[in-house]
A and B are shown apart, each in its own frame.
Chain A
């Protein structure tokens, strides 16, 4: 009797235990804190607000590019070790101390993948037809992140070598445990994946956002596709997408440069106007954590390595072009002050977000016009030129100049040929605006090259401080140098980046390499 009772008791306890454990699981499903979950399309849209990286490679790329010299003066110092290493083309050892480090770029752009993939994985459990705009945004942000990473950590795409160049991982699933391993693949594979996502995304994207200028609208996506296919050397597609972005009459979308130039150079007035969301030219705005607003702004910050007088005089803001002197031809006034090294166009703001009010601790931001009408027009002009459609290319250049130049300068093909044909190629001590191209494809020398030199010259001016020059250097194999400038004069040339220097692909973050990712090749000294 007793033992039967015992068995009954045991089985009751057993049954109760099973019931309790399963009901406990429900009890334990309560979220431990104010974390959120995805339930509907609106939640997914909210998640995709963070599919835009808060790191942007402009500062790193400017430091690596020929827009920057070593300006020697007792009062001018580097911001920090990161700035020096970037300028000197060293592998960067700083990890998270600086918002502009390769590690921050790496993790923030890969976080875009995780964000997009989380959204896509949720959508896959739902009725996907209800989520088309979200699918579009997730795919295009993922493609853009992959593209931006490739511009930093890979060589420029060259169809003849891409299948032999290192690519980057392009994850299409979320990571579920730390320490997952990835293969880099080839650059060709990477570009194929980016292209596939772009093509899939573009038909789905809508313009229906709370803040459309901070998201991939159709226009922004076309502009991205235009630049991507230009870099991908698929010029038909670049032209087609640029045309979609610009519409039949690009003039409507161009910036009112004269009005912008009339603004004061003090404070954040010009940056505010340049990156205003109501400017038609701005296709996509991105606010990132970066100190470039100070380094390329009117501040005594990082003066040692910045866009200084020597380069401004002979290659950029004060250089001569087929339009005459750049400093007077354009609605593109710049700031300088003899106590600072910087010659800067006030496009980038220096905005301080306080994290601790009274302690003056915070994060420094700038807003970038990541895609705009002028840059898209230049992409199309370049694509036309590379397809030997010189007149169309010239038309696009003149379209830009109609507003960018004072009084609407119009260039002729002969004027361009004469100007760029008559000047010598650049050397570090006798600098000119003409750097020799080293490309695997042939460039016709009488028309095509002067036209491309003109487009590169304009691109360099219009995208100054924004990091795109570094891509042009890589794409055209330009040889650049590290120069010391004392009182505006080149006093030493300390390093050369030859056309096939492996340092053109910036080294992966040291922690990432330490975790097992294949590093970029380096020539051991």
Chain B
């Protein structure tokens, strides 16, 4: 169908075509036109394409020619019959020539557009009952000599024929014939007619993308049934957690495969799905497609079931997302500009459950009464805020004024504390801004029959939502196709992006399993700072953290990460059609990405100063960042960073090569048997390199000169630390694949795929590396049956599909031991002179190691009602994942008691429903609704070894046999004691406040809360159009998961802590335990007497008291757009112009009240993590 469309576009430019330089000899008399054409075909091999109605039945051709050129012969025959012809790819299309002379006497003007508003060239407009007609020109415009009110018949192949009353300035929008016809499914390797496609897939067009979201993957939220997108962090560069039909692996990533223009996109570094929410600096480079300009995207095709993904077989277990970028269209030359201006709202304390400074100070006062916050402890302590500052001022003598900074009197102190009470610092307004993020994108596109091109550049300039978060991204994209010969074409795509980003300095988070705490040292993330720091603090005052002076605003200026990312791709594809039925193509691609993360800790930052903090003897003895020489019995602690700061640099480099050769043969026998064979091979190679360097003592303020002391290296050697490291990985894979499709008249289709893939990832064992995967599927297009006509038009289309498949994935990155894995190491020795280098066995051999596998049964129904005004797609699937990697307890005689092997399995099932309806459709007003619903449930059916308590109660959760893949468990809370201590049930069955073991392997006592991945996701979108206006109201929803509330409880607090309003309701006097579940603030004496009480407070954060439902309904997008009418633009050079105002992420229509402002999608893990902001975007689109 596409081919035919392409042909007709060119019929207008009559002078451009050229026929094969062939000569032929004819001697025909009174034969039908068909016979004549057959004879020509026989001699020249050219095929003809024509509408039989173009010729009168009794029209006879007589021609005699010897060695005459085809051109001359055709002219001779067709000119006299009012026909014109055009050759393309060895096919000659014949159509009626339109008398253009009517153009001179125009009275009615109009334009013919397709549904996307693109002009249709070559549409025929005929006045009903006459032979008066016109053909739309290159801009889709036409003019006709007729009168207003006459009926016009507008037709164009591939579109529905329309009858419409004539009026001047009319715009005719042509509707593509039937949704199912002519649509293709892009698998990234080939294009398949949707009628013959038997798998489950969803297409998301670029117009669904949300403006103001520079990472396109976030826009997929709610757009496709079965695809869940969780924005665990909204920071640019961080990938959202995307699941296609839920998790497919227990320890593996379950990340879908991204394929852009046929090339698999590899991440520059592998960040596991659970680590996406860690807030670590590495997450900033976790999105493989952060370098894609949203404006360049044409569409997404999401391949969901095993049949759709089977061509990627052993990599596709978690689904495939195929991205197609824009290409130039022949005959349409355009320059388009898109400008987006986004402003993000500053979060407000109104939406959060945080105490104001008055209430907070009163709790500090209680803490003071309970023996905390006394002068000498605070001043010698690691961190202090308001109280410490007061003591410090009382102790500081100002020589110029001859007075202490704060008089040591009760009034002065009361005054000082009252000031703090009244302060109510708004940290959000100090740290966040509404500065405008701008994106400018320009694209040029166009082409001729011989060649077409699409070139674009874009710049995104983001001053940052909060301090130290600015991003600039520049992208360029070029996509050109050249038809070298009629049957040989070359497509070249190159793209490049550069990103410069700043982020608050951060270290990696780690888990303190003994006390049950997930912690991050030196965390200055503005969002978590604003939520976790007391509002009684003054934003411009320096308090103390890690024994050194600390001020958040100053720290953000002096401790940050500079990120530079370059991402490039070069690809070329050569296609050759030796015969019309066979297409051979080869594709080669090279991808190169390099990122550098420079963590700059400036000289006067808190993190650097902490290395030299030794204000008092007590501090010097307690500060673990100082160094005491073990060789000198009388050594005092000294600083190993006496001058300067720290420069830590991590570089990631990725170089990927892809090569693919494919052949596609399709033929229709007898107009009944459609056969399509597709096969090929590919090799992929990805080399990654990561280097880390710890630049010690860089003096940023003194000409960037390093200054370091030898003790730093001595300490490093003694402690077994490296100051630099290199890590290289090389991935290789090769695959062979074949797909066969047979269809009887497009009614019954049978499809099968086989892929045979090998990879080096599992190690050097030749037996483990190869895996065949397959699929078998079928479809029945019921609407092609004769009996279906009876159901029309109430039921306009119906197809049924079923597939069964085996797909696979390579399992978690660290399990690659098909042969024994030996690594080099330097065993720890106390003295540097005793050191030596060696090798050790990291993992024992597992000769049976294999891919993780999945069997999937999918049954789908596509149905259209009321002339396809209601379209519904329903899919049901059941999956069996087996050979999953999981831990297994062994007898340990190999040296590893717990090994990872293909010992686990899980199952899942789900349903997906998409309904799109055209509710109202009048000339000016339209209303369409899209409803998407997906449900997925999974359960681990086999897992041989258990995880410890801590893994199961953490926010991301973990699994046990019989539970979903990521499940959240809680320590059962058993009320407060008469002293106000929280009590819990433990694995031994006792109820205790202190004897809690977060490492227990017996986890049966834990309370199951629910999965952490939602089980129901989807969206409801309504689009209203009125003339040029377009209102889009888009709501996403997600249900079924549980969320761990932010940990707020601790055995002790300091005068920096901010608390939630729950603390107002805390246990204060005996008897309160019957009224409240909020534990007492421990006194210093109680804490010292029983330090194990801190286990109880750790447990409280992980108890069933601190869990909320993750359900939400989110007002994702409200946008109002306006397309300026063509008439208005007339006279200017503009062909189109539109404006759109959009509000994104505005509010939650529904969320659990226990969340108190905590975003259910977002993991507040500090570091570089931030939620997706509420934002307003103004978009301007202009085309020339």
Interface residues of A in 1-46 (CB under 8 A from B): 17, 20-21, 24-25, 27-38, 43, 46
Taking the nearest CB of chain A, how far is it from the CB of B506, in angstroms? 11
A275 with B830, Cβ < 8 A, contacts A32-B760, A178-B890 known: yes
Nearest residue (CB) in B for A512 is: B892
Q: Quick check: B999 and A97 within 8 Å, CB to CB? A: yes
Interface residues of A in 90-131 (CB under 8 A from B): 94-97, 103, 106-108, 110-115, 118
Query: How many Å lie between the Cα of A210 and that of B833 in the bound state?
Result: 11
Q: Quick check: B895 and A110 within 8 Å, CB to CB? A: yes
Q: Is residue B844 within 8 Å, beta carbon to beta carbon, of the partner chain?
A: yes
A33 with B729, Cβ < 8 A, contacts A175-B844, A511-B897 known: yes
> What 10 pairs across the A-B complex have the smallest Cβ distances?
A49-B838, A111-B895, A175-B894, A50-B840, A178-B899, A24-B734, A353-B720, A28-B760, A114-B895, A110-B895
A277 with B831, Cβ < 8 A, contacts A25-B758, A178-B901 known: yes
A36 with B841, Cβ < 8 A, contacts A28-B758, A114-B895, A515-B891 known: no
Nearest residue (CB) in A for B820 is: A118
Query: How many Å lie between the Cα of A517 and that of B892 in the bound state?
Result: 9
Query: How many Å lie between the Cα of A23 and that of B607 in the bound state?
Result: 54
Query: How many Å lie between the Cα of A246 and that of B759 in the bound state?
Result: 56
Other-chain residue from A46, A181, A276 in contact with B838 (beta carbon distance below 8 A): A46
Query: How many Å lie between the Cα of A111 and that of B821 in the bound state?
Result: 13
Q: Is residue A176 within 8 Å, beta carbon to beta carbon, of the partner chain?
A: yes
Q: Quick check: B892 and A32 within 8 Å, CB to CB? A: no
Nearest residue (CB) in B for A25 is: B766
Nearest residue (CB) in A for B632 is: A267
Question: B631: which A residues are within 8 A, CB to CB?
Answer: 272
Taking the nearest CB of chain A, how far is it from the CB of B507, in angstroms? 6
Question: B827: which A residues are within 8 A, CB to CB?
Answer: 49-50, 52, 54, 287
Q: Is residue A509 within 8 Å, beta carbon to beta carbon, of the partner chain?
A: yes
Q: Quick check: A108 and B830 within 8 Å, CB to CB? A: no
Query: How many Å lie between the Cα of A353 and that of B758 in the bound state?
Result: 41
A180 with B890, Cβ < 8 A, contacts A34-B728, A107-B897 known: yes
Identify which of A189-197, A254-262, A361-369, A410-418 touches chain B.
Answer: A361-369
Q: Quick check: A214 and B896 within 8 Å, CB to CB? A: no
Question: A27: which B residues are within 8 A, CB to CB?
Answer: 683, 732, 734
Other-chain residue from A115, A210, A365 in contact with B840 (beta carbon distance below 8 A): A115
Identify which of B315-323, B845-853, B864-872, B1110-1118 touches chain A.
Answer: B845-853
Q: Is residue B1134 within 8 Å, beta carbon to beta carbon, of the partner chain?
A: no
Other-chain residue from A20, A50, A176, A213 in contact with B834 (beta carbon distance below 8 A): A213
B725-756 interface code vs A (CB 8 A; 1 in, 0 out): 00111111110100000000000000000000
Other-chain residue from B624, B683, B760, B836 in contact with A360 (beta carbon distance below 8 A): B624
Other-chain residue from A103, A287, A349, A509 in contact with B828 (beta carbon distance below 8 A): A287
Query: How many Å lie between the Cα of A287 and that of B831 in the bound state?
Result: 11
Taking the nearest CB of chain B, how far is it from the CB of A167, in angstroms? 13
Q: Quick check: B897 and A33 within 8 Å, CB to CB? A: no
Question: B899: which A residues are within 8 A, CB to CB?
Answer: 178
Q: Is residue A357 within 8 Å, beta carbon to beta carbon, of the partner chain?
A: yes
Q: Quick check: A363 and B721 within 8 Å, CB to CB? A: no
Q: Quick check: B759 and A277 within 8 Å, CB to CB? A: no
25 A-B pairs with C-beta separation under 8 A: A20-B736, A25-B766, A31-B730, A32-B732, A32-B816, A34-B729, A46-B837, A46-B838, A47-B838, A49-B840, A106-B892, A110-B892, A110-B894, A111-B895, A114-B841, A114-B894, A174-B894, A211-B834, A214-B834, A267-B628, A351-B718, A354-B720, A511-B897, A512-B890, A512-B897
Q: Quick check: B830 and A113 within 8 Å, CB to CB? A: no
Q: Is residue A182 within 8 Å, beta carbon to beta carbon, of the partner chain?
A: yes
Query: How many Å lie between the Cα of A32 and that of B821 in the bound state?
Result: 11
Query: How many Å lie between the Cα of A210 and that of B892 in the bound state?
Result: 31
Query: How many Å lie between the Cα of A175 and that of B510 in the bound state?
Result: 33
Q: Quick check: B845 and A50 within 8 Å, CB to CB? A: no
Q: Quick check: A353 and B719 within 8 Å, CB to CB? A: yes
Q: Quick check: B895 and A113 within 8 Å, CB to CB? A: yes
Query: How many Å lie between the Cα of A94 and that of B1001 in the bound state?
Result: 9
How many A-B pairs with Cβ below 8 Å?
A: 243
Q: Quick check: A30 and B841 within 8 Å, CB to CB? A: no
**Which residues of A does B touch, CB under 8 Å?**
17, 20-21, 24-25, 27-38, 43, 46-50, 52, 54, 81, 94-97, 103, 106-108, 110-115, 118, 169, 171, 174-182, 210-211, 213-214, 264, 266-269, 272, 275-277, 285, 287, 349, 351-354, 356-363, 365, 367, 509, 511-512, 514-517
Q: Is residue B443 within 8 Å, beta carbon to beta carbon, of the partner chain?
A: no
Query: How many Å lie between the Cα of A38 and that of B846 in the bound state?
Result: 18
Query: How many Å lie between the Cα of A247 and that of B896 in the bound state?
Result: 40
Q: Quick check: B633 and A177 within 8 Å, CB to CB? A: no
Q: Is residue B997 within 8 Å, beta carbon to beta carbon, of the partner chain?
A: yes
Q: Is residue B839 within 8 Å, beta carbon to beta carbon, of the partner chain?
A: yes
Q: Quick check: B895 and A353 within 8 Å, CB to CB? A: no
Q: Is residue B681 within 8 Å, beta carbon to beta carbon, of the partner chain?
A: yes
A36 with B830, Cβ < 8 A, contacts A97-B999, A272-B630 known: no
Question: B840: which A residues are within 8 A, CB to CB?
Answer: 47, 49-50, 115
Other-chain residue from B508, B719, B898 in contact with A352 (beta carbon distance below 8 A): B719
**Among B728, B847, B892, B896: residue with most chain A CB under 10 A:** B892
**Which residues of B does A touch, CB under 8 Å?**
507-508, 510, 513, 521-522, 607, 624-625, 628, 630-631, 633, 681, 683, 718-721, 727-734, 736, 758-761, 763-764, 766, 769, 816, 820-825, 827-831, 833-842, 844-848, 888-899, 901, 903, 945, 997, 999, 1001
Q: Quick check: B837 and A29 within 8 Å, CB to CB? A: no
Query: How many Å lie between the Cα of A108 and that of B841 in the bound state?
Result: 11
Q: Quick check: B892 and A266 within 8 Å, CB to CB? A: no
Query: How many Å lie between the Cα of A285 and that of B831 in the bound state?
Result: 12
Question: A96: which B residues are within 8 A, CB to CB?
Answer: 898
Nearest residue (CB) in A for B720 is: A353
Q: Quick check: B734 and A515 within 8 Å, CB to CB? A: no
Question: B683: which A residues are within 8 A, CB to CB?
Answer: 24, 27
Question: B721: which A residues are within 8 A, CB to CB?
Answer: 354, 357
Question: B889: which A residues are within 8 A, CB to CB?
Answer: 511-512, 514-515
Taking the nearest CB of chain B, how far is it from the CB of A184, in angstroms? 10
Query: How many Å lie between the Cα of A35 and that of B760 in the bound state?
Result: 13
Q: Quick check: B997 and A81 within 8 Å, CB to CB? A: yes
Q: 17 more A-B contacts (CB under 8 A) besides A20-B736, A28-B759, A174-B844?
A: A32-B730, A32-B763, A35-B823, A36-B839, A94-B999, A110-B893, A115-B840, A118-B841, A169-B891, A174-B894, A178-B890, A211-B835, A272-B630, A276-B831, A352-B719, A356-B508, A514-B889
Taking the nearest CB of chain A, how far is it from the CB of B79, in angstroms? 38
Question: A178: which B residues are within 8 A, CB to CB?
Answer: 844, 846, 888, 890, 894, 899, 901, 903
Q: Quick check: B891 and A353 within 8 Å, CB to CB? A: no
Other-chain residue from A33, A50, A354 in contact with B728 (beta carbon distance below 8 A): A33
Nearest residue (CB) in B for A114 is: B895
Q: Quick check: B633 and A267 within 8 Å, CB to CB? A: yes
Nearest residue (CB) in A for B847 is: A176
Q: Quick check: B892 and A107 within 8 Å, CB to CB? A: yes
Query: How many Å lie between the Cα of A27 and that of B730 in the bound state?
Result: 11
Other-chain residue from A171, A266, A358, A367 in contact with B522 (beta carbon distance below 8 A): A358
Query: How many Å lie between the Cα of A127 and that of B630 in the bound state?
Result: 47
Question: B834: which A residues are within 8 A, CB to CB?
Answer: 211, 213-214, 277, 285
Q: Quick check: A177 and B846 within 8 Å, CB to CB? A: yes
Query: How many Å lie between the Cα of A213 and that of B835 in the bound state?
Result: 11
Query: How many Å lie between the Cα of A78 and that of B701 in the bound state?
Result: 49
Q: Quick check: A95 and B1001 within 8 Å, CB to CB? A: yes
Q: Quick check: A516 and B891 within 8 Å, CB to CB? A: yes
Other-chain residue from A35, A108, A214, A357 in contact with B821 (beta carbon distance below 8 A): A35
Other-chain residue from B624, B759, B829, B890 in contact with A214 (beta carbon distance below 8 A): B829
Query: How many Å lie between the Cα of A36 and that of B840 in the bound state?
Result: 9
Other-chain residue from A113, A211, A358, A509 in contact with B521 (beta carbon distance below 8 A): A358
A511 with B830, Cβ < 8 A, contacts A35-B821, A50-B841, A361-B510 known: no
Q: Quick check: B846 and A176 within 8 Å, CB to CB? A: yes
A176 with B892, Cβ < 8 A, contacts A32-B763, A50-B838 known: no
Question: A106: which B residues are within 8 A, CB to CB?
Answer: 892, 897
